[in-house]
């Protein structure tokens, strides 16, 4: 790989600060984690967005959360067709190898991926319809969700509803994985849907009995 460069010094400096403080004071724990392997209690599926700071929001420490982050926190349906399915691989590993007790799907406000899906489905982003658009093809997962919210008149309300549909779509798709369904029904695993408002710092979770997201 001739095109790689050394790590920029600002990251080296950040790392060295961590090494001298956090690492040093937790050295014995980190050594033990390395020797014994990870036993995370929960898997979190969230967006790559730099403003969605899962580890901060849940006060995560080394070893606590198995975290998958992709565009718009989406899980595709179960498709064991022999092709590559990166997200499905993370779910499989978390549930069958690590046996996490919880999977939390976290959506968020001002989601660029959801915005793209909204624009694509409403005809405003033809470039996302192209075969070569990776973001477009990925956001296809949320097309059925758009159908459910397109009647909402106010645009910002419609996008927010679509952000929450992204969470519900992922939860529903998770249940199409036989090993997920089995673990949920056997009581070894529970699924949770949350939506985070970046600016307000608020967090809502999905309450299935009421069929709505409510502030925790």
Site for a second copy in 6-65 (CB under 8 A): 6-43, 48-51, 53, 55-65
Among 126, 176, 188, 212, binds a second copy (CB under 8 A): 188
For residue 116, what are the contacts with CB-CB under 8 A and spacing of at least 6?
Answer: 125, 128, 135, 136, 139
Among 152, 157, 199, 212, binds a second copy (CB under 8 A): 199
Please, are residues 46 and 69 in contact by the beta-carbon 8 Å criterion? yes
User: Is residue 176 close enough to count as binding a second copy by CB under 8 A?
Assistant: no
Q: How many residues bind a second copy (CB under 8 A)?
A: 127
**Residues 74-103, interacting with a second copy (CB under 8 A):** 74, 76, 80-94, 97, 99, 101-102
Please, are residues 72 and 164 in contact by the beta-carbon 8 Å criterion? no
Q: Please state the closest distance from residue 153 (CB atom) to a second copy, in A.
A: 23
- Alpha-carbon 147 to chain mean position: 22
Which H, E and C letters describe 52-70, residue by residue? Answer: CCHHHHCCCCCCCEEEEEE
User: Is residue 184 close enough to count as binding a second copy by CB under 8 A?
Assistant: yes
Token pair for 22: 């956090």
User: Is residue 151 close enough to count as binding a second copy by CB under 8 A?
Assistant: no
Q: Which residue, 177, 61, 54, is CA-closest to 105?
A: 54
**Residue 47 counted as an annotated binding residue:** yes
User: Is residue 119 close enough to count as binding a second copy by CB under 8 A?
Assistant: no
**Residues 127-146, interacting with a second copy (CB under 8 A):** 131-135, 137-141
């Amino acid at each position: 790989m001739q095109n790689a460069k050394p790590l920029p010094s600002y990251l080296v400096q950040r790392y060295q600060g961590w090494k001298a403080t956090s690492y040093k004071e937790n050295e014995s724990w980190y050594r033990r984690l390395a020797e014994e392997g990870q036993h995370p209690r929960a898997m979190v599926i969230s967006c790559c967005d730099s403003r969605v700071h899962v580890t901060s929001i849940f006060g995560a420490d080394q070893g606590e959360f198995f975290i998958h982050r992709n565009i718009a926190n989406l899980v595709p349906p179960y498709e064991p067709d022999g092709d590559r399915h990166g997200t499905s691989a993370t779910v499989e590993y978390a549930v069958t190898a690590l046996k996490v007790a919880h999977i939390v799907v976290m959506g968020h406000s001002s989601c660029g991926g959801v915005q793209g899906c909204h624009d694509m489905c409403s005809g405003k982003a033809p470039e996302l319809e192209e075969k070569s658009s990776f973001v477009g093809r990925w956001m296809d997962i949320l097309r059925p969700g758009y159908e459910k919210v397109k009647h909402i008149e106010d645009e910002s309300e419609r996008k927010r509803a679509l952000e929450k549909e992204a969470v519900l779509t992922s939860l529903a798709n998770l249940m199409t994985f036989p090993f997920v369904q089995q673990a949920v029904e056997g009581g070894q695993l529970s699924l949770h849907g949350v939506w985070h408002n970046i600016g307000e710092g608020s967090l809502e979770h999905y309450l299935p009995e009421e069929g709505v997201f409510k502030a925790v």
